[in-house]
Amino acid sequence: MQTRPFGNTEEEFPILSFGAQRIVDEHACNEEQAIAILNTAIDRGIRYFDTAWIYSYGQSEERVGKVAKHRRDEMWIATKVWDRTRDGALRQLEESLSRLQTDYVDEWRLHNIWGREELDRCFASDGAIHALTQAREEGLVRHLSISGHTDPQIQIEALQRFPFDSVLIAVSVLDHFIYSFAEEFLPVANAKGVATIGMKVFCLGKLGDVYDRALRYTLGLPVSTTIVGCSTMEELQKDLEIAEQFVPLSGPERLTFFREMLPLVTPQNLPWKAADWNNPVTWNPRVEPSAM
């Protein structure tokens, strides 16, 4: 499988990485199946594993931890913090480390910073950004990150405020058409040498009918790697097959794909870009670029 540099770090990762949100009971994946999927992913060359404190009340982290206990040196583990305060974030990190059965994580990420108010809260005097820097100083985390689904201007502003090592962003083919991280954010991040991780490739399953092209579209973007979630061994094998034989969409293929996908660009299919994720009726109001 092709590999790419991970920003300004000394790491390189395969173009396909593992999103661990779906290896949980909530997605009909039991513990035995989850462990088998994770071990197979490692055996096939995947090194980057993304999880989060909030996923299924910690079950995702717990299952990653059951494999990390035996194969930690083969895994780059990224997890996310939901709390926006310093003290709350540090408490969540302690819980994450316990579930993951490790004394450090490779990457700790502010989870889903969707608006300027959220960003300001994290950068307040008692905000979560201070937990990130403290944890790195103490050796509990090695790289600092942020994720964004909604508006690339927020993540651009985040990079103006702080030298994050990486950013996790929504870059499905549908995301291309509104508040596009591919068009607005990737040039900025790549110019700064910030690692970028693609996500939301299949729009929560909405693009299952165009699986191959959806994954090839995102893998073809100038991102460092792309996380894909799966809850069955069959899904993992399918992802691996596409990534191992990866050929970017040609110009005509990409144009045809865009034309086919444009009617699907609705708040219902992109709830993370809606004004209300749980009731996706209208688009989230656009954030004006910062004057910073």
- Report domain extents, the chain: 3-251
Rg (CA), the chain: 18
pTM score: 0.96
Q: What is the rounded distance in angstroms from the CA atom of residue 99 to the CA atom of residue 85?
A: 21
Query: Would you identify the CATH topology of the domain 3-251?
Result: TIM Barrel (3.20.20)
| DSSP reduced 3-state for 24 | coil
| DSSP reduced 3-state for 158 | helix
Residue 226: strand pairing partners: 16, 198
List per-residue pLDDT tens for the chain, 292 residues long. 999 999 999 999 999 999 999 999 999 999 999 999 999 999 999 999 999 999 999 999 999 999 999 999 999 999 999 999 999 999 999 999 999 999 999 999 999 999 999 999 999 999 999 999 999 999 999 999 999 999 999 999 999 999 999 999 999 999 999 999 999 999 999 999 999 999 999 999 999 999 999 999 999 999 999 999 999 999 999 999 999 999 999 999 999 999 999 999 999 999 999 999 999 999 999 877 665 5
Amino acid sitting at position 74: E
